[in-house]
Amino acid sequence: MTHKISILLVEDEKNICDFISTSLSAQNYRVTATHSGKEALPIITSQCPDLILLDLGLPDMDGMEIIRQVRTWASIPIIVISARTQEQEKVKALDLGADDYLTKPIGTSELLARIRTALRHSNRLNTGSLLYKRPFHAKDLTIDFEKHQVILAGKEIHLTQIEFKIISLLAQNSGRVMTYDTIISNIWGPYADDDNSILRVNMAHIRRKLEQNPAEPQYIFTEIGIGYRMVEDEMH
């Protein structure tokens, strides 16, 4: 029997807990559920789950605190769950080291996709795989990191240096949301201006080069108030 991937679910609503556990168990994950943050921390340290699903609105402690404590010693992927209107909270969680977020209400297909992406990215870190060298490919788009080439439907697309940096960063983290701040400090350095409009304008230009209709993107999606998410790499 193969080793089952273990997921720790920290969620205080019993009904939500139940349906997530059921759908994950059906996908052959081993799910441990806990209803409080105080219980969660010892479980994380003792069992070392492969992934943590964390509701930010816990009754007994701030979900942020759990992220902070876990990140002091482990890189276990953490996916936070929160309500739609709390962008600030999501950004904070992501900047603290959470890998991704899910918005309530959670659709199962979305949940599974996020879990797969997060696991894949953490495996890559652990095994040091060649993915960073291998080109990114999704639909008609190929990005060759070594050759600095972006090819769309067989045609090479000319991007500026900055635009290529942005799109590479997103592609290397494909499927995951990248916050504005993360992108800005990666591209312009840690002391860059907080104002994200330069990033937004660059992104608008990239989109005009890559997308047929910038208002209906195929490759780069906006998460309003949070950041950008590149479509999942198809060659994993």
Partner 1 sequence: MDYSNRRQNILVQFLPAIADWFITAFLLAVATALSSFFFAIMDNPTSNIALIYILAVFLIARFTTGYRFGLCASLFGVVCVNFLFTYPFFELDFTLTGYPITFVAMFTISGITSALTSNMKVQAKLLSERDKMLMEADKEKMRANLLRAISHDLRTPLTSIIGSSTVYLEHGTHLTDKEKNDLVLHILEDSNWLLNMVENLLSVTRINNETAKVNKSLEPVEEVLSEAVIRLRKRLPKAQIQVRVPDDVLMVPMDAVLIEQVLINLIENAVVHSGSTEPVECHVEDGPSEITFRVRDHGIGIPAEKLSTIFDGSSSTTSTSTDGRKGMGIGLSICKTIITAHGGTIKAVNHAAGAEFYFTLPKEDSNIDT
Number of residues lying near partner 1 (CB under 8 A): 24
Nearest to partner 1 of 1, 224 (CB atom): 224
Peptide linkage before 105 cis (omega within 30 of 0): yes
Closest distance between partner 1 and the C-beta of residue 224, in Å?
A: 5
Nearest to partner 1 of 47, 222 (CB atom): 222
Stretch that binds partner 1, among 45-53, 68-76, 142-150, 196-204 (CB under 8 A): 196-204
Quick one: which of 1, 3, 46, 105 contacts partner 1 (CB under 8 A)?
105
Nearest to partner 1 of 144, 232 (CB atom): 232
Q: Which two tokens stand for residue 175?
A: 């499927």
Closest distance between partner 1 and the C-beta of residue 196, in Å?
A: 9
Quick one: which of 38, 60, 95, 107 contacts partner 1 (CB under 8 A)?
107
Give the C-alpha separation, 78 to 10, whole Å: 11
Nearest to partner 1 of 45, 222 (CB atom): 222
Closest distance between partner 1 and the C-beta of residue 151, in Å?
A: 23
Nearest to partner 1 of 71, 205 (CB atom): 205
- Using alpha carbons, list the distances in angstroms from residue 43 to 8, 30, 49, 99, 234: 8, 14, 8, 19, 34
Stretch that binds partner 1, among 71-79, 123-131, 168-176, 213-221 (CB under 8 A): 213-221
- By CB under 8 A, tell whether 14 contacts partner 1: no
Quick one: which of 114, 120, 121, 207 contacts partner 1 (CB under 8 A)?
207
Residues in 30-89 at the binding interface with partner 1, rule: CB under 8 A: 84-85, 87
For tokens 């500026």, name the residue: 160
The partner residues of 230 in beta bridges, in order of sequence, read 220
Q: Which two tokens stand for residue 188?
A: 């312009």
Nearest to partner 1 of 87, 232 (CB atom): 87
Per CB under 8 A, residues contacting partner 1 are: 84-85, 87, 105, 107, 195, 197, 200-201, 203-205, 207-208, 213-217, 221-225
